[in-house]
Structure formats: C-alpha cells, structure tokens
A and B are shown apart, each in its own frame.
Chain A
C-alpha cells in the first residue's frame, strides 16, 4: 500500500511519520511511506490541518496524530484502505499540478 504523510515538516508530522513506520513494522505489511510537503498537493486532499495520514489516496486522519495502535487498526481494516476508485482524489505522481493537468 502507499502511505502518504501530509505536512509541512513540522514536529507533529515527524511524530506521525514515526508512529506510522512503527505501525507498519509491527503489522509486517508492505508499504511505501511517502512525505508530501507541497502545500498545493496537500490542499488537493481538501485538507488544511496537518499532519494528515493518507493511505491509498484515502484520507484517514488530519489535524491530529493517531497513536501506533490506532494506525495499526486502520491499516489492517481492508474497508478503510481500499484504493479510492472515484477519481475525485488526485493522482499526485510526477506532476505538481495536483491531478489537474
């Protein structure tokens, strides 16, 4: 799965990243953890309060830091992390347009 940590690099974002890495390690799942710091890209998720946790393009939390056990719970719930099919969420690969091009 693809996990994104949205945030400008504040201490809270680092804490969320650490919690996420720990949750991934404890669950033993395959995951790519990616940090998104570009404000425009973050905005495209409809979010202003960072840090936010995005898994397979689904926003799981924003404006707070879920603890390791909560993240584990979310990551092991297939209903929550199934890839977003409605194309409303942006594809952020490569281009910085936020899926508008």
Chain B
C-alpha cells in the first residue's frame, strides 16, 4: 500500500475547519474593535460577540447569560472547581473520579493542599463510574461533584444524567468536563442535569486557546482573577473575539454534523478495533459500546507504547500512548492504572482517535502497517511469547 499521512490523534487536537477560519479572519482585520468600547468600532464587535454567545447557548440547550468564554478546558475546569471551593468556604468535600483529565485531577490535588477533602471514585474495568458510589460517598460537607462526560484516553462515556440526578437530589453542584464530548455527541445541559460544563474549541475543529464554561443561572463561583468586568467578572480580560467567533462557527457545524459523523466514525472505529484484535495478545481498553465514536485504545502485550508510536510515525501515522516513556514521567497513565491494567499493559497502550477527516483508507493503511510494527518490536522484546 502506498505511503500516506494518517492523523489519528484527534483526541489531542483537531485541524481548524475552513469555515471557522473564514469566520475568524474579519475579526483580525477590519473588525478589530474592543467589544467593551462605546464607539461604533467596539459596538459592531460586541453585537457579533453576543450573537456568538447565543449560538453556543443554543448548542448546549442553555441560555446566553449562562455562557462564559474562557481560554479552554483547563481554565473552565479551574474556574469551576476552585471558584466553587472558594465560594463554599475554607474547607469542604469534593467528589470526583480517578480517571479525570489532569485539568481536574491536579486541581483537586491542589485543593487538598488548601484543606479541602477529595474523594477520587474508582471505576470498573471498562472505566465506568457507578452512580451509586457517587451517592454513597456524599457527606454533609460535600459541595461539588465533578465527573467527566467521557474519558479522553479510553473513550468511556459516563452516566452523566444519572449522576446529575443524584447531585440534584442532594442539592450539590455538578460539574462535568465535557471537552471530549461537545461537538461529538449531542449535549443538553438540562438532560445532563449539570450546573457547570467545560468545553474547548480545538477538540471540534475550532481554534486553540479558546473554550467556554456553562454556568447554570444562580450558581455562584468566586472568580479566580480580578480585572475588568468582562464575562460577568467571572473571567475578566479583553475577549478573544476571533477565537470565540471560530469556536462558535466550528461548534454550530459540528453539532449539525453529529448524526452523520457518529455513524461514520463508529463504523471506522469498529473496523479498526476488529482489525487490531486480530493481532495476537492485543486487548481493548475502555467500554465496548459506551464509547466515544472516534476512540480506539488498545494494549499490545510485550512491547512498549513509545516505541510503537515511533514506528508508526515512520509510516506517517500519528497516534498517542499512555506509556510512561511517551509522557516524560515515570508512571504510566493514571486512567489505565485505574481500569486495572498492570504496568506492562499500560505501557503498551496506543490510542487512535478519529475525526471528521478520517477515512476508511486511513483504517486500511493502519491495519496494513501495524502487524509488522508489532512483530518487529516483539522480536526485540525479552518478554512473553516473544522470547
């Protein structure tokens, strides 16, 4: 098969789609006004900006005054968790999961140092959180629950509406990091019963460095920064207008595309999973069905992830790994450890994430290259059957 470039790391980031870029450009050129300015140059930008807020709200089933633009998922998570903690008081209890993204997990670790208590709920072998466990861990001083909508590494989709119901019943704040879900699957903040939801534009073919936070009306957070009055003082600072315009255009279009894209990606995903599992000693990580349409995560026994990535890269294939050697730390992914993988299986994990540009030709190409890659590395390995 002819050599080609195959990008299968859409979970890391996606290319900006043409329509989003086109929409942004005028806001770098003639529409340069500061939306806070009183004059015409500012006013024309303000009206486009507020229209953008309306559209984000519509895409999430929210209302415009509940949308706050931020620099991305990490900032939205920080504003939610730290903001809720500071509002609540000097101590209190937070419930989250052991498979959250570092943008939630490390914030929680930090809040522990500040005197808050945090429960990190375990997950089952598929990466699922048990809603009953959420309810059982509620204590009188619990003030917020934060559970991701779907996992970035293994793609497992969490039972958010069920957990939302529990939070509602106990009158607790419920935050979800939906960075991997918005633009990929239908999102409705009322069906999900969330009070706070984080999203990031570059995961759905929008620009990097821009995201949003949905904050339900009436929910009070202490702002992390002081500055001007922008974004209801929750996130002061001159607005990233071109970024927000790009976010909105990309969001509108990806939400429109969801039915068609889901069908296509699920077909491609299942074909790739099936092909990969035909190789000896390969295991699928994450839930078989409750899984993001574009996520494939497998462990190749007896070989290490970074070396697999490197070999794939030689063939023009871009993927990612939960191995320690690819992260720069000495520990393998906390998510793979949480689903019970031993160190070696975690080190041998590879994540392929598909996106709107992915094609069946890409899948066939990967499946044509990977058996040899795995065989060559196993030939070098002292472990298992390779010996």
A binds B: no
Binding site for B on A (CB under 8 A): none
